[in-house]
Amino acid sequence: MLFIDQINAQSEPIFTLFGPDMKDFFKYLTVGEEDKKWGLFLTVVGKAKIDPRSPYPSIDHPTGYHYNWEDGRVLEEYQLNYISEGHGVMECDRGKFQVIPGSIIIIRPGVWHRYKPEKKSGWQENYIGFDGAIARHLLDQSIFSSQQAVIHCGYREEFIDTYFKIYDLVQEEAPGFQQITSGLVIKLLGNIVAYKKQLDFSGKHIEQVIQKVRFYIHEHIEHEIDLQKVAEEHQIGYSHFRKMFKKYTGVSPHQYHLELKVIRARELLLTTDKSIKEIGYELGFRSIYYFSRFFKNKVGVNPSELKQVTSRKI
């Protein structure tokens, strides 16, 4: 038999729902000013096995979270609900989305929505609610398109492992648990981003080409590289290669080459006695003026200023 445990706190109650085997639960969390200033804080976590033909959602959730299918609901927080088993549907003002095993339902603040499992299948749901300035910044990234309310990721061990680590920390509620769990939420978002990026590349020829070109750039960092010719040698048009390279690495091939030059230049400035002129020429810059201007644009200080700092430390 399920029961609700209400714990008095300084600001507001915490509601927890546990099953007899402690496997299903939800917990609504108090949030202090320090947690809010941190930039990302959790508001609710939970997991539940919804059996076929069971009522949904549970009426035990507090007002503001519980809803009926006809009316739906609007939350003032983000939620990530990972459906690890079962099928269902999610609807919001962006459209109607099918939910299959391995789907992540993304709920956004202020957006009307509703979702439920199919009666014949039920589902296993794992969810976290959170908010904060950092959360809003991350979920505003283009890869988390506001038009996409459900992401099909499949069963990912790293996803469910992160949820369970969050559950353990939240049930214990040791000092600082909000800060630790916030890092795990960021990790989860990072895993979702990585998965979406890998969809276009995993096992495909273009990924092998990008890896080979990256290695080639590393090996020829000091030279001028005709990247268009390199792409053609791999039987790929340069515009497509450039687009996919940027999608894979986050920067264009040319920018990737320049960033490696910066890293190498910093290393030589900090660890060798070579002059700025020698380092500039070694890295393929036509003049010390161009090298200095390029370095300052990228790093924020002139090569000479970085050299002076190193000399003072010595």
Is residue 73 within 8 Å of residue 99, measured between CB atoms? no
**pLDDT by position in tens, the chain (length 314):** 333 333 333 333 333 333 334 478 889 999 999 999 999 999 999 999 999 999 998 888 887 888 999 999 999 999 999 999 999 999 998 899 999 999 999 999 999 999 999 999 999 999 999 999 999 999 998 888 777 899 998 888 899 999 999 999 999 999 999 999 999 999 999 999 888 888 777 778 888 898 899 988 988 888 889 999 999 998 899 999 999 898 888 899 999 999 999 889 888 888 888 888 889 888 888 888 888 888 888 888 888 888 775 555 54
Buried b (16+ CB within 10 A) or exposed e, 127-138: bbbbbbebbeeb
Distance between CA atoms of 260 and 296, rounded to whole angstroms? 15
- Amino acid 17: pLDDT: 39
pTM: 0.69
Distance between CA atoms of 13 and 84, rounded to whole angstroms? 30
- Amino acid 304: pLDDT: 86
Residue 225, CA atoms < 13 Å, CB-side half-sphere? 24
Is residue 163 within 8 Å of residue 128, measured between CB atoms? yes
Domains 3-199 and 205-313 share a fold: no
- Amino acid 108: pLDDT: 96
- Amino acid 4: pLDDT: 34
Residues, the chain, total?
314
What does the angle CA 207 – CA 199 – CA 40 come to, to the nearest 5 degrees? 115
- Amino acid 13: pLDDT: 37
Decide if domain 3-199 falls under CATH 2.40.50.100.
Answer: no
* CATH number belonging to domain 205-313: 1.10.10.60
Distance between CA atoms of 25 and 18, rounded to whole angstroms? 4
Domain ranges, ordered by start, for the chain? 3-199, 205-313
Is residue 277 within 8 Å of residue 288, measured between CB atoms? yes
- Amino acid 195: pLDDT: 87
Per DSSP bridges, beta strands 41-50 and 25-28 are antiparallel
